[in-house]
Amino acid sequence: MAETKKLMRALAGETQAVPPVWMMRQAGRYLPEYRATRAKAGDFLSLCYTPELAAEVTLQPIRRYGFDAAILFADILLLPQALGADLWFAAGEGPRLSTITTPDELRALKPVDAIHETLAPVYETVGILSRELPSETALIGFAGAPWTVATYMIAGRGTPDQGPAHALKEADRATFEALLARITEGTVEYLSKQIEAGAEVVKLFDSWAGSLKGADFDRYAMEPAKQIIAALKERHPGIPVIAFPRGAGEKYVGFARATGADCVALDNSVPAEWAAEHVQVDGCVQGNLDPRHMVTGGQDLIDETRRIVRAFSKGPHIFNLGHGITPDADPDNVQLMLDTIRG
């Protein structure tokens, strides 16, 4: 069925009159059905690790809206947990991890081939989805990119400027690079198993790529993406990969060529018209509506949606937000966006 799926056609380089559409965090707290399932699970990690419930919340936005793709419900920090980091979620504060900042702490991590025992429920979720999704809906697997995952493992939490990771990079580059290498190797294994379980596309989320500048961006955002994509395509010829180096700015230019990505996802800080001229020339792009329009709605949402579709209309494009939909979004605005795209 792959060749008939709108998302797969865009990733193969086809320009379509109506672009395929899905949303980052489309299974999330803005939906009442998600909140009900989350309450049934008890806590966030239980939701991630209970395949029937994780599959259910993945399917909810497909049933409600008919998106062209579903993205596996999981979290980028499940891989660090599988590598041996302690992981918990503090109410109202987000994720917390045990930190990895010394050679001894790095050596205490599990070997990469041990991750699959912890992550087996995720692969089971992918299997359920591959069987239950509508035949026209593509299934996206994902992982965090090494730099972004490392920022959490080094700081033990999310930080506004990724300062602890930058500090370790400068103070003990050997430990920093060894951690990045371990995450890179683990990411290949993790995504490969998702593909084996039924994922048709995988996406690399480098949410904090924008805090890397100059040569550091090339070395720690671009190079790991290139290594992961090359390894996945060697194991799974033809598998499409979407890369999201959020905040890359000018570094979006040439990112697909440099890494082998089939599609570059764009945040909403770059104008669609600029990205069409400088990024889409290398192939498929994804994005990039400002998520605030899912809160405010109205004519501004309609106008911005039309502008983005028009800007990217001369090449392969997957419509999406520039970042994840927020919990305060109005579900009716999602429908308005879809009606505008498909109108």
The rounded distance, in Å, linking the Cα atoms of 123 and 66 is: 23
Q: Is 233 helix (H, G, I), strand (E, B) or coil?
A: helix
75 is catalytic: yes
25 is catalytic: yes
> Can you state the percent helix, strand and coil of the chain, rounding each to 5?
55, 15, 30
The one catalytic residue among 9, 30, 34, 38: 38
Burial of 230-254, coded b for 16+ CB within 10 Å and e otherwise, reads ebbeeebeebbbbbbbbbbeebbbe
Q: Is 29 a catalytic residue?
A: yes
Q: Which of 9, 25, 182, 246 is catalytic?
A: 25
Question: 180 and 117 in contact (C-beta within 8 Å)?
Answer: no
Catalytic residue among 9, 30, 68, 75: 75
If one counts every other C-beta atom within 10 angstroms of the C-beta of residue 299, the result is 7
Catalytic residue (one of 34, 65, 123, 152): 152
Q: Which amino acid is at 311?
A: A
Which residue is it, tokens 């900042």? 101
Contact 278, 253 (CB under 8 A): yes
Alpha-helical segments (H) within the chain: 6-11, 32-41, 44-49, 51-65, 78-82, 103-107, 115-132, 146-155, 163-171, 173-197, 215-217, 223-235, 255-259, 272-278, 293-296, 298-311, 331-342
Q: 201 phi and psi, to 5 degrees?
A: -145, 150
Annotated catalytic residue, options 29, 35, 219, 235:
29
- Cα–Cα distance between 60 and 184 in angstroms, integer? 31
Interior/surface letters 120-135, b for 16+ CB within 10 angstroms, e for the rest: ebbbbbbbbbeeebee
CA separation, residue 160 to residues 146, 157, 207, 269 (Å): 18, 10, 12, 17
Residues with a catalytic annotation lie at 25, 29, 38, 75, 152
